[in-house]
Amino acid sequence: MRERITHLAGEVVEGMPWLGTFHSIGVKLLRRHAELVDLRSDFTILDTDDVVRLIKQIIQAEGLAPRRYENANRLFIRSTRTRATTMGSDEVQLSNGNRQGRPTGLQDPASLLIQLAYGFIQDPSRLKAGTLIELPVATTRKMDTMVFEVQPEETLDTPVGRIKAVRVKPRHALLEKGNAPADIWFAPELQYLPVRILVQVEGQPTFMQLSLSAPPMQVRKPSATP
């Protein structure tokens, strides 16, 4: 841009520090006033190829590789108490300071659901009824192995129509403060999105449903079931 303007207007452009494209001027403004939008002045801009490379670094061959998990207890009387587990390449440190070796494929409660869906995308045969899926999981208190059993396919009524889904039911898992892990229904025709979640909280069932006005653009519209 500067070279083209110099060719047209001559050396006068040397006194025009804000000469540039829309994007270059925008970046200059953001760097100068980064703190106003909660950014650092040395922020990095990623193009599409950069984003793909970053995702490939985060999602390794075996799936997600979380590094830190936090659990905040919000108290009415005292300030919020946060517990954190850090997960290094070879070692895990729980919130109480205990250290253990990191098992292959370790997840935390936040990444678990994504890892299950990722596994089904990589190997759809894992959704065969009766299949057992084992995943090591670290909470802020301990590490254990969660075991899920795949149930027979069923059809659910959802905001985007009747969807075939497969229920993945926990058989053995971490239990903390009376909260049981969730039953999750994954929809193969929606790229294995979870369309229903059942959570047992102190013995009380609570259902959560996927709320979409239309199927995701990257998947075909599911056929109607009579």
Region label for 2, one of left (φ > 0), alpha (ψ between -120 and 50) or beta (otherwise): alpha
- Please write the tens of the pLDDT for every residue from 82-113: 788 999 989 999 988 999 999 988 999 888 88
As given in the structure block, the two tokens for residue 225 are 């079931």
d(CA 226, CA 85): 48
Locate all alpha helices (DSSP H) within the chain, ordered by sequence: 2-9, 22-32, 48-58, 112-122
β-strand pairing of 143-158 with 81-87: unpaired
| Predicted local distance difference test score (pLDDT) of residue 48 | 72
| Predicted local distance difference test score (pLDDT) of residue 172 | 66
Report yes or no: 84 and 95 within 8 Å, Cβ to Cβ. Answer: yes
d(CA 44, CA 46): 6
- Please write the tens of the pLDDT for every residue from 8-57: 666 655 666 666 777 888 888 888 888 888 788 888 887 777 766 666 66
Report yes or no: 138 and 208 within 8 Å, Cβ to Cβ. Answer: no
| Predicted local distance difference test score (pLDDT) of residue 222 | 47
Whole-structure pTM value: 0.64
